[in-house]
Amino acid sequence: MASTASTSSLSEEELMLIVKWSGKEYTVRVCGDDTVGELKRRICELTNVLPIRQKLLYPKVGSKLADDSNFLSQLPLKSSLKMTMIGTTEDDIIIDQVDMPEIVDDFEIGQEEAVDIKDKEVNKQKLRRRISQFKIELQNPCRAGKKLLVLDIDYTLFDHRSTAENPLELMRPYLHEFLTSVYSEYDIMIWSATSMKWIDLKMRQLGVLDNPNYKVTALLDHLAMITVQSTSRGVFDCKPLGLIWAQLPEFYNSKNTIMFDDLRRNFVMNPQNGLTIKPFRTAHSNRDSDQELVKLTQYLLAIAELDDFTTLNHGKWEFFSEENTKRRRHT
């Protein structure tokens, strides 16, 4: 009985763990409903060591700390316990796109389960914590009256796994034309599951952050994501748009926001706002044939006049774009 009560209490209460790294001790605040992966995110905020480069050592826990999907409430952890972290910051290594994590086993969550995940109180609590922990730093001012477009990077704007002497060879065709066109109606944010240093590097290499024809409002990285649990698919990370809406409510909300990502799992906390873009891979062979951003430009400009995006089925965006194109030709 005592063990059950202890586990329940651990799920609800905050833990203060001491992490030793590089001769220093860091206090990390987490909750029992956080995962090991979430713990690593908190450590990353303090040390700048990416989660994928962290190895956590604690004798009484052992290999369970190596599985990012394990919940902390399942581990024999107590506040003020000390664990050791081994890892290297990005400043001390050479950044290489093939060194970054890749998710290829994307999946679709059923509608009922997606609603359950979105409405589950434990996930709402995680979102509230993330809202308080992660602060959006604006690159450029938000513009009143504009819709919001949130874009992934890897396989959405950039083929990050192919090799090239010049990163521009891996840029998705028509990227700058696309961003220039939609900027008239949309503020633009970039949200990647990688690190902020990686995002800044790639966007500068592609000429996105200093383009005279459009401006990027903000950059968000893996630290803005939350971890959720699906009955059918287990534990995974996602990008909750509620974080943006909570911090910038005078500009953005569920009715005026759309997100592009090649992984549909990232939309699970806001399924009505996500559009699954066709992945851009093998850039060298697809550079001349990929027309995705051209077509999506038409779609975004067509829906920009609507007051509420939640009434749309973004899964059928191509049909909407075609119908609008035909309608305009006949008027």
Write down all domains in the chain, each with its CATH number in brackets: 2-91 (3.10.20.90), 98-329 (3.40.50.1000)
> What are the DSSP calls for 202-222, one per residue?
HHHHTT-TT-TT--EEEEE-G
Rounded CA separation 139/149 (Å): 15
- Tokens 């993330």 belong to 130
DSSP structure class, residue 169:
G
- Tokens 């906390």 belong to 269
Coil, helix or strand for 54? coil
**Measuring CA to CA, how many Å separate 73 from each of 21, 70, 78, 177?**
23, 9, 10, 49
Residue 74 is predicted with a pLDDT of: 87
Rounded CA separation 85/34 (Å): 18
- Tokens 């089925």 belong to 313
Residue 5 is predicted with a pLDDT of: 40
Residue 284 is predicted with a pLDDT of: 83
Cβ-in-10-Å burial (0-12, 13-18, 19+) of 120 comes to: middle
pTM of the model: 0.82
The model's pLDDT over 141-199, given as tens digits with 9 standing for 90+, comes to 999 999 999 999 999 999 988 888 888 999 999 999 999 999 999 999 999 998 898 89
Residues of the chain with pLDDT under 70: 1-12, 62, 92-115, 321-331
**Structure-derived torsion over alpha carbons of residues 181, 243, 65, 91, reported in degrees to the nearest 10:** 50
